[in-house]
Amino acid sequence: MKAFGALILGLFLQAYGLAQSAEFEGDVHYLHMFSFKKKLPDSSGVLRYFGSSSTYSYRSADYKWSFYDCMMESEYSHAAEGHVYNKYVGRDTFYFTRQSTGNRLISFDITKNADTILGYPCDMIRVVIATSDDPRDILIRNIFYSNDLPLDPKAYKHIDAFCHNEVFPLIRSIPLRIDMMTPAWPFDIRFEAVKVEKRKVAMAEMILPAGAPVLETYER
């Protein structure tokens, strides 16, 4: 009886562990906020480049990121293909590149229980990234993430921009807040989650429209 009881308990704990580690599927809606270090004659270009808000849809290591009031309309990532596709407003073509960004992860530091966002307890990872060989080209990102919203890090294994291929294996979760700061910009930016929507995402939402023109580019 003891052995049978231990078997039942083991099966329960295994099932509970699998449930706890189930990948997030659904949408995260972000608001994009800017803090300007100095007054700009015209800040509309900043908004057009980064957008006012976005929706990140995730399903089984693939994602689609839709941007609003932005020059980029959407970004698709397919882990199995190892490609990221970008579509810009006013263009039918989807662009992808195989070229490395050259971003280098200089350091990272994790703070446990850094904040609670939308009811989700979050840890924070602070990453320092070199974006070129110039020591002044440093980007700092504070990423707040919850273990309650896990993702498969292979979703980013092919993306070296912002060193995602190194950072996401460390956090293994959907970010709920992303702060970005660099001396090269006259502003800091925050992507803040304002809604988390768990739902079944259809595969049709995650693939490029049938017959869409695709162009490989080496531009960054």
| CATH number for the domain harbouring residue 92 | 2.50.20
Token pair for 34: 């800017």
Distance CA 119, CA 129 (A): 29
Determine, yes or no, domain membership for 37: yes
Highest mean pLDDT: which range of 4-13, 140-149, 211-220:
140-149
Determine, yes or no, domain membership for 1: no
Chain mean pLDDT for the chain:
88
pLDDT number for residue 80 = 86
Chain position carrying tokens 């980007």: 139
Determine contact, residues 101/161, Cβ cutoff 8 Å: yes
Distance CA 216, CA 205 (A): 22
* DSSP state, residue 208: P
Q: Is the pLDDT of residue 138 over 60?
A: yes
Mean predicted confidence (pLDDT) in 31-53? 90
Determine contact, residues 141/103, Cβ cutoff 8 Å: no
**Nearest-CA neighbor of 57 among 125, 155, 158?**
155
Mean predicted confidence (pLDDT) in 145-170? 94
Q: Is the pLDDT of residue 84 over 50?
A: yes
Token pair for 82: 């190892």
Per-residue confidence at 218, pLDDT binned at 50, 70, 90?
Answer: low
Determine, yes or no, domain membership for 14: no
pLDDT number for residue 13 = 41
Does an H or E element contain 53, and which?
strand 53-59
Q: Is the pLDDT of residue 83 over 70?
A: yes
pLDDT number for residue 39 = 84
Determine, yes or no, domain membership for 16: no
Q: Is the pLDDT of residue 119 over 50?
A: yes
Mean predicted confidence (pLDDT) in 116-132? 96
Span of 59-68, 122-131, 211-220 with lowest mean pLDDT: 211-220
pLDDT number for residue 35 = 93
Query: What 3-state class would DSSP assign to 46?
Result: helix
Does an H or E element contain 188, and which?
strand 187-198
Domain with 51, as residue range(s), is: 23-216
Distance CA 72, CA 27 (A): 18
Mean predicted confidence (pLDDT) in 162-191? 95
pLDDT number for residue 38 = 85
pLDDT number for residue 145 = 98
pLDDT number for residue 149 = 97
Determine, yes or no, domain membership for 133: yes
pTM of this structure: 0.86
To 10 degrees, the CA torsion angle through 170, 187, 176, 30? -140
Residues of the chain above pLDDT 70, percent: 89
Distance CA 52, CA 70 (A): 7
Does an H or E element contain 49, and which?
helix 44-50
Determine, yes or no, domain membership for 17: no
Determine, yes or no, domain membership for 12: no
Token pair for 21: 């580690």
Q: Is the pLDDT of residue 180 over 90?
A: yes
* DSSP state, residue 3: H
The domain tally of the chain equals 1
Q: Is the pLDDT of residue 21 over 70?
A: no
Determine, yes or no, domain membership for 2: no
